[in-house]
Amino acid sequence: MRSFIVVCLLMLAVGSAGAELGTAVVETRPYSQNNASLEVSMWDVGGGNFFRPNANIILNIHGARASRVTLSSLDSNGVLTEIQALSCRDGERVNFNTKYNIGGTRALVIRLFDARNNMLAELTRNVP
C-alpha cells in the first residue's frame, strides 16, 4: 500500500511538472543567438510582365547554422505565401530568380532558417 501511494505521488508530481514544461515548449524564440544576417547584393524587383513581374534578388548569407532561405510574398491581409525556397550555408551567395503576383503582394519577405526550422534572420521590403 505504501508503494502505491508513493507511485501516485510521483505521477502527480511528474504530471504537474509536465504541464509546466508544456507551456515552456509553446513559447518560441523567433531569432537565435548566433548573429545571422542577410546581406542584399542586388534587388531587382518589378520588371518583366505587369501582372507577373520578375523578382531577381541576390543575397549573401551569414550565419554558422544557416540551412535554408525562403522568399515569400506578404499580401494586404497579412498572409505569407512561400514563392521559392533554397538551401544555403554560411558565406554562400544565393540567387532568387522567380515571378510573383503583383495584385496581391504588398511586400516580399526573405527568411533564413537553420536545420531545426528556427528562424535566424528576416528581411522585409515593400514592392513597387
List, in sequence order, every residue forming a beta bridge with 108; answer none if it has no partner.
73, 125
Q: What is the mean pLDDT of residues 89-100?
A: 94
Selection from 117, 58, 114 nearest residue 90 by Cα: 114
How sure is the predictor about 5, in pLDDT bands with cuts at 50, 70 and 90? Answer: low
Global pTM? 0.71
Q: Per-residue pLDDT tens for 118-128?
A: 999 999 999 97
Q: Per-residue pLDDT tens for 14-36?
A: 554 444 433 333 344 455 456 88
Here the cell at position 112 is 533564413
Phi, psi of 28 (to 5 degrees): -115, 150
- Predicted confidence at residue 53, as pLDDT, reads 92
Homologous superfamily (CATH) of 37-126 is Immunoglobulins (2.60.40.10)
